[in-house]
A and B are shown apart, each in its own frame.
Chain A
Amino acid sequence: DTGVSQNPRHKITKRGQNVTFRCDPISEHNRLYWYRQTLGQGPEFLTYFQNEAQLEKSRLLSDRFSAERPKGSFSTLEIQRTEQGDSAMYLCASSFAQNQPQHFGDGTRLSIL
């Protein structure tokens, strides 16, 4: 059983550029979550999907952020016009159902120059 897969592992970009991250959940997990983690903090919830439906978005998620899960399998998280404050580890997790344990991928570390 493969785990949650995230790509790329690292992304370095200049301020103002757009970036896109991909997450492949554990197969048969219909829930997929995005979190963001900065140094010294616990992960903060961004958004989540049940199958292809995006059911909740955090107030942290400005209109520069968009997430999709078009076929209920993999998901993408796009950040437009990146800012210095977007530098963080972006974590994807999946679970089989509500309140079931969430399993995290290795994350994508974003650095904004």
Chain B
Amino acid sequence: QKEVEQNSGPLSVPEGAIASLNCTYSDRGSQSFFWYRQYSGKSPELIMFIYSNGDKEDGRFTAQLNKASQYVSLLIRDSQPSDSATYLCAGGEGSTLGRLYFGRGTQLTVWP
């Protein structure tokens, strides 16, 4: 059973702080990892994806992947109240299949 585990949260940070979201995955064959943001009652919106070990930066977001530790993280710098949402971590299978395995999500609140 392939699983993705996310830190339980909820996570609350002040505006302007760095929010750190973490997840671990069970399938060593997973090749790709995705972070989605989901506002209440809305569908998931892709934020970042990462395929290689190391860091990948896009604006205020940095995704980090450590395949040896089977660990993925998302850092949000200069957090804004509009970042308040549930963040979903997902792993893609390493085979020819394409399904994503999602964690349960971490709820982030950024307070002014």
CB nearest to B48 among chain A residues? A101
Whole-angstrom CA separation of A101 from B63 in the bound complex: 14
CB nearest to B98 among chain A residues? A98
CB nearest to B30 among chain A residues? A99
50-93 of chain B: CB within 8 A of chain A = 51, 88, 90, 92
CB nearest to B105 among chain A residues? A42
Q: Assess the A104–B100 pair: CB atoms within 8 A.
A: no
User: Most A CB atoms within 10 A — which of B45, B51, B100, B105?
Assistant: B100
B26 at the interface (CB under 8 A from A): no
Whole-angstrom CA separation of A102 from B92 in the bound complex: 10
- Choose among B32, B42, B96, B104 the residue that contacts A42 (Cβ–Cβ < 8 A): B104
Whole-angstrom CA separation of A106 from B42 in the bound complex: 7
A82 at the interface (CB under 8 A from B): no
Q: Assess the A104–B32 pair: CB atoms within 8 A.
A: no
Given contacts A101-B49, A104-B45, whether A31 and B98 have CB atoms under 8 Å apart is yes
CB nearest to A97 among chain B residues? B98
Q: Assess the A102–B100 pair: CB atoms within 8 A.
A: yes
B34–chain A nearest beta-carbon distance, Å: 6
Segment of A12-20, A43-51, A72-80 engaged in the interface with chain B? A43-51
Given contacts A40-B104, A42-B103, A42-B105, whether A48 and B49 have CB atoms under 8 Å apart is no
Q: Assess the B46–A103 pair: CB atoms within 8 A.
A: yes
B28 at the interface (CB under 8 A from A): no
Q: Assess the A99–B92 pair: CB atoms within 8 A.
A: yes
Whole-angstrom CA separation of A65 from B88 in the bound complex: 26
- Enumerate 10 A-B pairs (CB-CB under 8 Å) in ascending A order: A33-B98, A43-B100, A43-B102, A48-B98, A55-B97, A98-B97, A98-B98, A99-B92, A106-B42, A106-B43
Closest 4 CB pairs of A and B: A42-B102, A45-B99, A104-B43, A107-B43
